[in-house]
A = this chain, B = another copy of it.
């Protein structure tokens, strides 16, 4: 029973890894299931034992990232966060799994993944900003949209060129976010 599950996990991971290695080179719509199983050394039919289709294997990776996201930001702790701490942890999260985020957040990546990341970050920043009475309901949503999309784009921009150390990434972003927060 335990060896069954282990073997199953191993095959599944092997397929996921092979998929990702191909995805790092090819765009999603050019990848065939045979590409993946050939690289992993399995029969094409084995793929369908573990996944529904190519999108399913991508979603599988994304869900793992979402799990690590949720683990990092336990909802019970949020009350004690401030903007600075939240930004720090966000940068930590993205840099920890750079290999996946730098691709998934890029134009070659998955726009729906970006969307979900944005929504998750919005929730976090909103819970911090909710005591700030200077925002009307509409303005908060607008501010969050602006902040979070800027945040993600800048982190991705930093991934690509890494023009300065991660501390400056934090400082630059913190300045920008703080400036927008202090509006009437």
**CB within 8 Å of B: which residues of A?**
29, 106-109, 111-112, 114-115, 138-139, 141-143, 145-147, 149-154, 157, 163-164, 172-173, 175-176, 179-180, 182-183
On whether A154 and B142 interact (CB within 8 A), knowing A111-B107, A111-B111, the answer reads yes
The number of times this chain is found in the oligomer is 2
The smallest C-beta distance from A32 to any residue of chain B, in angstroms, reads 13
Separation of A10 and B62 alpha carbons in the complex (Å): 44
For A112, the chain B residues whose CB sits under 8 A away are 107
Beta-carbon contact of A157 and B145 below 8 Å? yes
Asked if residues A180 and B183 are in contact (CB atoms below 8 Å), the reply is no
A164, B138: Cβ atoms under 8 Å? yes
Residue of B nearest to A145 (CB): B157
- Shortest CB-to-CB span from A92 to chain B, Å, is 19
| Minimum C-beta distance from A110 to chain B (A) | 8
The interface residues of chain B lying within 8 Å CB-to-CB of A152 are 149
Q: How far is the CA of A150 from the CA of B179 in the complex (A)?
A: 14
Check B107 against A108 for contact (C-beta < 8 Å): no
Point out the residue from B138, B164, B172 that lies within 8 Å of A163, measured CB to CB. Answer: B138
Q: In the A-B complex, list the 4 residue pairs whose CB atoms are closest, starting with the nearest.
A: A149-B153, A107-B111, A146-B150, A150-B150
Assess whether B183 is in contact with A176, with CB atoms less than 8 Å apart.
yes
**Among A114, A143, A146: residue with most chain B CB under 10 A:** A146
